[in-house]
Amino acid sequence: MASPSGTSLDVDLEVDALYALPVGEFTAARDALIKRLRAVGARPEAERVKSLRKPSPVAAAVNQLAREAAADVAALRAAGDAQRGLVANQAPATAQRAAREEVARRAAELVARAIDDLGLAASLGQRLRLTLEALAAWGSTAQSPPVGRLTDEVAPPGFEVLADLAPAVVDGEADGPRRLGRPAPVDTVAPPASPAAVPPVSGPPAAPEVDLAAQGRREAHRRAAAVLATAEAEAVQRAEQVASAERALMTAADEVADAVSRVAALEDAMRRLASELAAAEGAVAELSARRGVVGATVAAAREASLCAGRAVERARAALSALAEGPLMGDVAASTGRVVPPA
């Protein structure tokens, strides 16, 4: 992806930086790069960056290992190349087993580093190991996945791919690429040259001598190669099935863990809501009690007010009666004052 003209952005370097990030930071960094490209008018490059897929956690771990442990990743792929060469050359079983163990050891070391240094979840260790061993099977061939920009886990190459990658071997010497497991072409063994002689006057020509032992060896080699090819094809197929089943199992385990987390969160929310509801009901009950007390107080105040009003009326009546009685008239006569009626 070329840099947009008239800008200082190197899009290839920017994309490499994206795939060097932890998986949780990829989307935000990609969106920020898209905005920067659009801001400088590089809309085609922005659209291409927009199409970049977020890597899976396992793929992101491989991308980081390819940068932070480049030598170890290269050694793993070289071990894969060596293992494939031993198989193609029909090396002794002990040598092939040692090569497989070397690949497994290097993959395990990288898995441990990803968990300890890169923060990869331990539950993803098995899936990372399978991806690393698949990368070792691809080796340093041209068809190998682009380590450093992976977006998903890697499956091992199929039998047909392995066959195209394997060198033919005839009497222990490489003879160019061929299908793995197919016997190398064997030239017809010619009889040894004989000195010139006068052909017989009559009778059939002499039949060439045939090396029966050589024919037996070639036939045995052909059959062994066919058995090996069948076994390797079945082994690759079963490895792919196992890898697929393990990926499905890991995915299911992640989904179960997410579901358990969501259920726990919902239970916490329900407990909080129940506590808040109980508090609200208590507040309502308290307000209801206070309302009853206030109502009783108001009723008592009204009754007291009525009683006071009746007392005032009685006092006024008594005062009127006193004003109209003989005592008040005597007082007025003796003083000469006129006492007005109440």
**pLDDT tens figures, 201-231:** 444 455 555 577 777 777 777 677 666 766 6
Burial class (CB in 10 A: 0-12, 13-18, 19+), 73: buried
Task: Say if CB 80 and CB 135 are below 8 A apart.
Answer: yes
The string of pLDDT tens digits covering residues 42-97 is: 899 999 999 999 999 999 999 999 999 999 999 999 999 999 899 888 889 999 99
Model confidence band, residue 176 (pLDDT cutoffs 50, 70, 90) = very low
The string of pLDDT tens digits covering residues 92-122 is: 999 999 999 999 999 999 999 999 998 999 9
Percent share of the chain, pLDDT over 70:
68
Task: Say if CB 57 and CB 45 are below 8 A apart.
Answer: no
The string of pLDDT tens digits covering residues 227-265 is: 676 666 666 667 666 666 777 776 777 677 767 777 788
Task: Say if CB 208 and CB 191 are below 8 A apart.
Answer: yes
pLDDT reported for residue 136: 92
Amino acid occupying residue 256:
V
- Output 36 or 269, whichever has higher pLDDT: 36
Amino acid occupying residue 298:
V
pLDDT reported for residue 77: 93
Instruction: Please state the rounded mean pLDDT for residues 131-145.
Output: 89
C-alpha atoms less than 13 angstroms from C-alpha of 291 in its C-beta half-sphere: 6
Amino acid occupying residue 300:
A
Amino acid occupying residue 53:
R
pLDDT reported for residue 157: 80
